Structure 1
Amino acid sequence: MRILFISRTYPPIIGGIEKQNYDIAKSLSEIADVRILANTKRGIILPFFAIYALFYALSHLKNFDVILLGDGALSILAYFLKLFTTKPVACIVHGLDITYSNQVYQNLWIRKFIKKQDKLIAVGNETIRQGVSRGIPPEKFVFVPNGVFVKENLPHYTKEDLQKTLGIKIEGPLLLSLGRMVRRKGVAWFIENVMRNLADNVFYIIAGDGPEKQNIIDKINKLNLNGRVFCLGNVDDQIKEMLFCTADLFIQSNIKVAGDMEGFGLVVLEAASYGLPVIASNIEGLPDAIVDGKNGILVDEKNADAYKEKIQHLLQDKCMAKEFGRIAREFVSNNFSWEIIARKYYALLQELIKKKT
C-alpha cells in the first residue's frame, strides 16, 4: 500500500497532535510505503503549506493509493482533491477538529470540507458524538484510538536522581501531571480543591506549557504551596521519562470547558505504559484511553472527595499501587501499542482502497 500522509503540524513542534501524527506516520511506515509531507514550523507558513500540499498531492496522485490527512483542519484539501480524483482520502479527527468554536470554521470546515472525506478516523468516541450532533453522518466515522510505544525494559531512576536534576526537594509521595497547560486539563482546579487538602508530605509536579500556566503559578503562590507544588514548564524527553519513572501517581483532572474538549488523552496511556497508576476524570475522550480498573481509575469530574480518596488509598498501599501499575502497563501493551493501532489503520485504509477499485 502506498500512502501519502499529510500533516500540517509536526515535530519538532511540540503538542499532542504533533506527537500523534509523528507516531502514526512512523508506525505505518513499518508496514506500508508511506510518503510523509509535513509542516515543521509554526505560524504564517501554514496557509502556504496547505497550498503546497494540495499541488503536491495533485501532481503525484499516480504514486499513491490513498491519502491520509493528519487532522481536520486539512480537510479543505480533500474538498479540492475530490474535484480531480476518486482516490480515497481519510482524515484523522481530534476533539477540537469538531468543537473549535470559530464561526467561519464551523460554517466551512464542519458543514462542507470535513464531510468530503471518505472516512473520518476519530481518536475518541466523544469526537464522534460531537460530530454527529453537528450534522456529520455517523457512517463517516470510525473510532481508532491513539497508541503508545511501550518499552520492553524501563530505565531505572530514583527520586534522588530527579531532585538532583531539577534542583528541588521531594521528601514524600509524588503526584504528576504532564501536558499542554490549558484550562480543560483542570490543573488549577486540582491544586485548589484537592492538592491543598492532601497531607503535607505529598508533592505535585506539573510539566508543560500553555496559556493556563500563569494562572497555575498564581494559584500555587496564593495557596502557599510553593514548597510542595512545582510548575516546570516544558521538559525534554529525558526528564519526561524520569518523571514517569519516579512519580507515584499520574493525575489527569480534566474539567469541562465550553468550546474545548479532550479528544483522547494520549498522556495517560504514556504514563500507564511506564507502570504509573493513573487517576483521571471520567469525561470526554478520557474513557477511551482509560478502562476503569484496567489501566487507570476514573472518577467523576470535579469530585474532589473522590480524587482525594483514590489518591490516599493508592499512596497508603504501595504494594497494591505497584501491582496496579504492572497490570496497567501490561494492558496498555496488549491493547494500545502503536504496532496494534497501525495495523488497524492499515486495514481501514486497505478497505477504502478496495471500495474505490
Structure 2
Amino acid sequence: MPYCILVHGSDLKYSSRSKIDAFISSKILKNASMILVNSKYTKDRVLEKGYKRSKIKVLNPGVDTKIFQPNIDTHKIKERYKLFNRRIVLTVARLVPRKGHEIVIKAIPEVIKHIPNLVYIIAGTGEEESRLKEMVDKLKIRAHVIFTGFMEKELLPQLYNACDIFVMPSYERQEFGDFEGFGIAFLEANACEKPVIGGRSGGIEDAVVDGETGLLVDSHNVSEIIDAVVRLLKNRDLAEKLGQNGRDRVEKKLSWQKIG
C-alpha cells in the first residue's frame, strides 16, 4: 500500500538511537512513496542518508491565523505577570539546550543598559529550567526574567501579542544530531505581527526571512543578539514593519487555510 511520511528533523535523531530503531526507520523511509520534510535543511539531512531526491518534497508547516492574530486583548496575561509598562522579549520553547535560552540570558545584562524596563519571558518547561534559573541568579537579573513554566495553549496568542520581540537563537548540536527542523513558533509570533530574531541554523532560514520578517543572528554570538534586540526595541518603525511583513507572509503562504 502506498504511503507518505512526514519528517520534522528531530525524528531523525530519535530514529538512530539504536540499531533496531535505525533499521525500522530506514525501512519505513525507503519504502515510502513520498517523504515530506518541513524545511530545505531537513531535506538535505534526509538526502545525506541516501534516499531518492525525487520522492522528497519540502512542505513548510503552517499556523492557524484565526487563532494567532494581532490586536488580541493582553490585559489578562499582563496582569498575571505584572507586565504593564515593560518592554517584553519572549521565547516560547521547550527548555532544552539547542533552543538557545542561555545565550539570550547572557545578553540581558547588556540589553537592560539600553532598555531599563526590559523583561525577558521564558515560556515552557524542560530539563534546562534549574540551570537557566541559576544563570539568572548568578547574573543578578532576576527582576528582568520571568519563567512562566507550562503555558496554556489558549493564552499563547495573548502572550505573543503582549511581547515586543520574539527571539529563539536555536543552534545545532552536531554531536547529538539535534537541530531545529523549522521553528513553528516564529510563524506564530509573525502571525501576531511581531518581529522575530532567530539563529542562523537548521531550518530556521525557512521560517524567518532575514531583514523582511525578522533578523537572523549567529546563535553563539552574544553581541549579535544584543545588537538585534536593542535595534528592534529602539527602532519601533522597523519592528512594526517586520511584524507586518511576517503577518502578510503567513497569511499568503503559511496559514493552515493556504497549506490545507
Q: TM-score, normalised by structure 2?
A: 0.90
* Structure number with larger C-alpha Rg: 1
Q: For the residues of structure 1 that align with 2:129 and 2:51, how far apart are their CA atoms?
A: 35
Partner of 1:195: 108
Q: Is the 8 A contact 2:78 2:162 kept in 1?
A: no
Gap runs ≥5 in structure 2: none
Shift of 1:138: 2.2
After superposition, the CA RMSD in angstroms is: 1.9
SS in 1 for 2:232: helix
Gap runs ≥5 in structure 1: 1-86, 343-357
Shift of 1:169: 5.0
The amino acid across from 2:193 in the alignment is G
SS in 2 for 1:92: strand
Q: Is the 8 A contact 1:99 1:130 kept in 2?
A: no
Partner of 1:150: 65
Q: For the residues of structure 2 that align with 1:310 and 1:197, how far apart are their CA atoms?
A: 12
Q: For the residues of structure 2 that align with 1:99 and 1:133, how far apart are their CA atoms?
A: 13
Shift of 1:106: 5.5
Partner of 1:296: 214
Q: Pick from 45, 51, 58: which aligns with 1:130?
A: 45
Matches within 5 A, 1:83-98: 87-98=1-12
Q: For the residues of structure 2 that align with 1:151 and 1:312, how far apart are their CA atoms?
A: 30
Matched, 1:227 2:143: yes
Q: Pick from 238, 247, 267: which aligns with 2:163?
A: 247
SS in 2 for 1:203: strand
Matched, 1:313 2:226: no
Shift of 1:105: 5.2
Shift of 1:157: 2.8
The amino acid across from 1:324 in the alignment is L
User: Which portions of structure 1, spanning 4 or more consecutive aligned residues, are displaced by more than 6 angstroms?
Assistant: none
Q: Deviations over 1:116-173 (max 9, x none)?
A: 1111100112211112212222223110100011139634334x5433123x355431
Matches within 5 A, 1:95-106: 95-100=9-14, 101-104=16-19
Matched, 1:327 2:245: yes
The amino acid across from 1:177 in the alignment is T
Partner of 2:188: 270
Q: Is the 8 A contact 2:70 2:191 kept in 1?
A: no
Q: Indicate how the Cα distance of structure 1 residues 105 and 240 shifts in structure 2: closer, same or farther if over 3 A, else same.
A: farther
Q: Is the 8 A contact 1:188 1:215 kept in 2?
A: no
Shift of 1:285: 1.0
The amino acid across from 2:217 in the alignment is V
Q: Is the 8 A contact 1:281 1:301 kept in 2?
A: yes
Q: Deviations over 1:293-321 (max 9, x none)?
A: 22221112212222111211111122331
Matches within 5 A, 1:13-52: none
Q: For the residues of structure 1 that align with 2:156 and 2:83, how far apart are their CA atoms?
A: 18
Q: Deviations over 1:9-60 (max 9, x none)?
A: xxxxxxxxxxxxxxxxxxxxxxxxxxxxxxxxxxxxxxxxxxxxxxxxxxxx
Matched, 1:139 2:57: no
Q: For the residues of structure 1 that align with 2:86 and 2:149, how far apart are their CA atoms?
A: 22
SS in 1 for 2:143: coil
Q: Pick from 107, 131, 134: which aligns with 2:22?
A: 107
Higher RCO (CA 8 Å, separation ≥ 6 residues): 2
Q: Deviations over 1:186-225 (max 9, x none)?
A: 1022212x12221232210000112222222222122222
- Which deviates more from structure 2 when the two are superposed, residues 174-183 or residues 105-114? 105-114
Matched, 1:238 2:238: no
Q: Is the 8 A contact 1:295 1:332 kept in 2?
A: no
Q: Indicate how the Cα distance of structure 1 residues 169 and 288 shifts in structure 2: closer, same or farther if over 3 A, else same.
A: closer
Q: For the residues of structure 2 that align with 1:272 and 1:141, how far apart are their CA atoms?
A: 27
Identity of aligned residues (%): 27
Matched, 1:178 2:92: yes
Partner of 1:210: 126
Count of equivalent residues? 253
SS in 2 for 1:198: helix
